[in-house]
Structure formats: structure tokens, C-alpha cells
Amino acid sequence: MTNLELGTLFSTYGSVAFLSYVFGGVLADKFSPRKLLAYSLMLTSFGGFFMMSYPSYFTMQLIYAYWGFTTVFLFWAPMIKATSIIGGLKKQGKTFSFLDAGRGIVASSIGIIGVLIFAFVVVGDISDSTLKEKQDAFRYVIGASSLIVFITGLIVYNFLNIEIDSEAKIGDFRDMKKLMKSKSVILIGLIILTAYMGYKITDIYSLYASEIMLFDEIEAARVGAYQQYLRPLACISIAFFADKSGNINVIIGGFAIMLVGAILFASGIVVAGLNSLFILSLVIVATGTYIIRGLYFSILKDGKIPTALSGTAIGIVSIIGYTPDIFATPLYGYLLDTYEGIKGHQLVYLILAISSLIGIYLSLKFKKINNI
């Protein structure tokens, strides 16, 4: 499978997710988050179990489209709205930071489990293993991950105890139209979009490790898995001062950090043999990315968005902010396939540097219109 084909799969997911954000947001203003989150997790796991059969490329596109529905329409807005309510007026930064820290711990743990399973099943040097051995190892990884997701769904259904009382007229088109005209809603969406360009690059850290730094497959996979631990570390670190310092101010700092790392990679100085510089540059980019990711929904309250309409607002913000799910991975894949070697990676990180600068500008504009 080429980088472009892999990117197209993620684009398929993103296209369905794009349509699901607004409608899922309205759903979050109407139904219990406990049921929505539980059903989402269990239905998502079924797609993983089917993936274990190694279906055709067309069927894989259908599975990614299915995941776009189960992980967004039923899951995303209920999770963000419930978190916002728990945080109240004064602890939005702390609550959202801990949320993303928890998500990071889960993601990194699954990544490490995957590496361990792969290393256990593939005996000896991975370069000497057969295609069937690699496929069997990956099948076990998919199965274990899907089982964890399914069990989590059962736990959420039986133990989560958050109910939402909405004071709004659910699905009122006039309310949705009003939110779509809100400068704060649009700016939050654009801030997320520029930050998400950085998050989509986390998908290719392992590729840089193998293609440019010349790591073997397991070493490269470890890079991708271990960098996930920066997510909870970054989020927990900012949780204790973000609300006092101003969540939008910390977001601006995150963009500045991400910009520094992007410039290091785009300059072309991070090459094979300079492993310490590679790790440092990766840590800088990832830390900036995860700082922003942990906080960008915390500024919903700063934008003076009514809690009763926050689900719908989250849908509108997300449909803007997560458009990179549609175009970023195919774009990165095209650049990496067209420009071989380090040149393609330099162009990818140049895009990230530009996105970081735009993110700083948008964040400053958000501060100004909300008198923060």
C-alpha cells in the first residue's frame, strides 16, 4: 500500500466524520452521553474485528467510513460536552487537559501493547520474517485493540454517571444559524484546524524514523508509540496553570513551540546519525502539538457559548477544525511519494511551520474579540 492509498483511507474516514460532526453535536444536546459513548465504543470495535480478516482495499475504505460514523456521530460531541460541564467556569483548562492526558495514556498503552505483540509473534530479526508472519502479528494487534475498545464500552455503559439537562430547543435551526455566525465559534474552529495539521503529522513520525533516520521497523514503531507518552506528560504539566495563565495564552505558547520544532525538521538538518537531534526535534513538535490539543476546547467558555447549545457548537467547531482529516494525510502522502527522501519530509514540516504562524495570529485575534 502506497502512502497515497493509506492517506486516502484516512481521507475516507475524515469525509464521513466531516458530515457527522454537526449532526452528532445536535444529538449530544438531546441524549444521554453514557449511552452514546458506550454504543460508539462497542460499534467501533466490531469494525476492528472485521479488519482482522485482511479485507480488500475497497472493503477497508468502507470500514474507515464506518469508523467515521461510529467515532464521531455517536462519540465526539457527547464526550466534549460532558467534559465542559464537569469543568464548570473555572476549571476548563484542567478538565480538558486531564481528558486528553487520559486519552494519550490509552493510545500510548495500546501502541506499546501492539509493539510487544508484534515483537513476540515475529521471532528473530524482523527483516528475515515472512509476509505471513507479519500479517499474523498485525492481526493479533488489531484483535487485542478491538477487544480493549469493546470492554471499555461495557464499562462506560454500566458505570458512567453523567446526565445532561438541556435548556435549549434541541435542533432549532435558528440557534444553529446564530452559532454559525459567531466569530468566536469560527475562530475556535480555525485554531483547531491549524493545530490539527500538527497532530496529523504524528502519523508519520515512524516513517521519518525509518526512511530518514534509517531505523528498522520495530525501532521506528517504538518511536511512534513512545512519542504518545508526551501527550499525557504535556497535558498534565499544563493542567495546573493553564486556567490561571489563561488557556488561550498557553495555546499561543504551544503554537510557538510547535513552530520551533517544525523549522528544525524543515531545515533538513535532522538526518541519519543525528539521533539526539531527531529525538529533540520530535519532542519539541509533539509537545507543542499536545499542549494545544489538550486545551483548544477549553476556550469554548471564553467564547461565551451557552452550555445548552455547546453540543451543537462543538459540531460546528469540529466540522471546521477537523477538515485536515480529509486533506492533510493525502497531501502529506502525495508529497512523500512525489519527493523522495528528506525533501518530501521537509515540505511536510514547512506546511506545519506555516500552520503554526497562522495559529498564533488566530489565537491573538480570539483574545482581542473576547477581551481576554
Question: Cβ contacts of residue 305 below 8 Å, gap of 6+?
Answer: 179, 182, 184, 185, 313
Query: Cell 462497542 maps to which residue?
Result: 42
* The dihedral formed by the CA atoms of 331, 114, 286 and 68, expressed in degrees to the nearest 10: 50
Radius of gyration (C-alpha) of the chain in whole angstroms: 20
* CB-based burial label for 160 (10 Å; 0-12, 13-18, 19+): middle
Domains of the chain and any CATH numbers: 3-161+171-369 (1.20.1250.20)
Rounded Cα distance, 135 and 224, in Å: 19
In this model, does residue 326 exceed pLDDT 70?
yes
**Residues 102-139: tens digit of each pLDDT:** 887 777 677 677 778 777 777 666 666 777 777 778 88
Q: Which of 14-28, 156-170, 206-220, 327-341 has the lowest mean pLDDT?
A: 156-170
In this model, does residue 169 exceed pLDDT 60?
no
At 131, give phi and psi (nearest 5°).
Answer: -60, -40
* 51: Cα within 13 Å, side-chain hemisphere: 23
Question: Helix 324-338 crosses helix 3-28 at what angle (to 10 degrees)?
Answer: 170
Mean pLDDT of 136-156: 87
Q: Report the amino acid identity of residue 365.
A: K
In this model, does residue 62 exceed pLDDT 50?
yes
- Higher-scoring residue by pLDDT: 279, 240: 279
* pLDDT confidence bin for 64, thresholds 50/70/90: very high
* Grid coordinates given for 303: 467564547
